[in-house]
Amino acid sequence: MQLLIVLLGVLLLLILIIKKVNPMIAMLITSIITGILLGMSPAKIIASITNGVGSTLGGVIFILALGAMMGKLIEDTGVSQRIVIVLTRSFGLKNIQWAVLLTGFLVGIPLFYNAGFVVLIPLVFALASATNLPKLYIGIPMAASLSVTHCFLPPHPGPVALATIFHADIGTTLLYGFIIIIPIIIIAGIIFPRLIINIKGRHLTNPSFTIEEKEKLPSAFKSFTIALLPVFLIAAGTIALHVPGWGPANGFFAFISDPTIALLIALLFTIFLQKIPVTNAMESCVQGVKSIAMIIMIIAAGGAFKQVLIDSGIGEQVKTIALHLQLSPLLFAWIITALLRVTLGSATVAGLTASGLVLPLITTGVSPELMVLSVGAGSVFFSHVNDTGFWMFKEYFNLSLKQTFKTWTTMETLVSILGLIGVLLLERFR
């Protein structure tokens, strides 16, 4: 009976989203109504919502804010443009897909998906026009690399929020994520577009094409250092903590590997290295946080819904079902998240909703870091007409619905399934 009530809650959430109700408001309404139907008292529902918001945002709010500030500074100072220029010049026309793929990956680490897409789409169109290559041939590698960084790698909102909910180590999650995404972006970003887009016999214009600078940009060394510094600090600190014999240095490595500290160091380093006036830097930081304000509120509401589900005891029923079906908890979590993704559209909402249902599975000995990645993989499964990313891709590339399903939806599904395979392989061999 309780599971049926949860399904009705998901159906209510779907209806509200279809009716264009803001996802934060929709999840808050759903949390209250689902709690009432599950027999929770009004006082307990309010307590669950408060605790859910606090426990979810408490560990991620500074990470999200600092990440947004860092991304805005990178965009405003021309760091992303310099990375684009360096990589396209280095790879040349013959390997232009690899250049765009790596550009999307590096730009996608500090920038959120939508921001990265908007920043890089002019590059795709410029390359397509100058080389006579199809836009999708160049655009799919960019979209694939942005997508995998968005759903698998901290400090993006989804992975960070899930890591907090599952009590996963963010540094370890980042390292596992890197291992998984390398084959994914090659298959989904390079092999896939070559299979569906035939460029044989196409005359390539301007084979020596490179992007010219239109303004004074930071050096390549500065740009790559700034973009990769947060990831380097988190990864290096995490690896060092697992190396025996460091002794007293462990406290230092634990300090710099904390995502909040790593992002703060990177932010201050960017301002100092680029010699940005403090007033201008702070204005960019404010604009960066404004751009993700609604994402933060959606995560908060998702945390509330998650806590209502946990406090109602429904998670234990889900755990019992998973054990009865004798499915891997990671596979079970992926299935639930994928179903919610297809139903609700938003990857973030699907992942946060699933977290409240699958959290008890962590107690069965499952790695919380792999659970983050499994849910992240499920959250991008089969993107279709109820997903804003679907329409963004369709409209920018001027595609029909059929073409969008053939390209974008298939690519996202590949990323999701390959992500699941990577998670299950890591579980087996780690």
Distance (Å, whole) CA 208 – CA 394: 30
Tell me the average pLDDT across 57-67.
Answer: 84
pLDDT tens per residue across span 307-348: 888 888 777 777 778 778 888 999 999 999 999 998 888 888
User: CB 118: neighbour CB atoms within 10 A?
Assistant: 13
With a pLDDT cut of 70, the percent of the chain lying above it is: 95
Tell me which of 326 and 43 has the higher pLDDT.
43
Short-list 176, 179, 152, 189, CA closest to 378:
152
- Of 38-52, 144-158, 214-228, the one with minimum mean pLDDT is 214-228
Residue with tokens 């500030």: 69
Residue with tokens 């942005």: 146
Tell me which of 44 and 76 has the higher pLDDT.
44
- pLDDT over 60 (residue 103): yes
Exposed / middle / buried, residue 134 (Cβ in 10 Å: 0-12, 13-18, 19+): middle
Tell me which of 104 and 130 has the higher pLDDT.
104
State the pLDDT at residue 210: 53
Q: What confidence category does residue 123 fall into, taking pLDDT thresholds of 50, 70 and 90?
A: confident
Distance (Å, whole) CA 412 – CA 112: 17
User: CB 212: neighbour CB atoms within 10 A?
Assistant: 7
CB-CB contact of 175 with 241 (8 Å): no
Tell me the average pLDDT across 147-151.
Answer: 91
Cα–Cα distances (Å) from 155 to 170, 186, 254, 313, 329, in that order, read 9, 22, 17, 30, 25
pLDDT tens per residue across span 396-409: 898 998 999 999 99
**Amino acid at the residue 316:** E
CB-CB contact of 383 with 409 (8 Å): yes
Kindly provide the b/e burial profile for residues 382-420, where b requires at least 16 CB atoms within 10 angstroms of the residue's own CB: bbbebbebbebbbebbebeeeebbebbbbbbbbbbbbbb
State the pLDDT at residue 380: 94
CB-CB contact of 325 with 129 (8 Å): no
CB-CB contact of 27 with 301 (8 Å): yes
pTM of the model: 0.83
* Domain boundary assignment for the chain: 2-56+295-429, 61-143+153-159+168-291
Tell me the average pLDDT across 169-190.
Answer: 94
With a pLDDT cut of 90, the percent of the chain lying above it is: 37
Sign of CA dihedral 378, 379, 381, 386: positive
| Sequence-distant (≥ 6) Cβ neighbours of residue 229 within 8 angstroms | 262, 265, 266, 269, 270
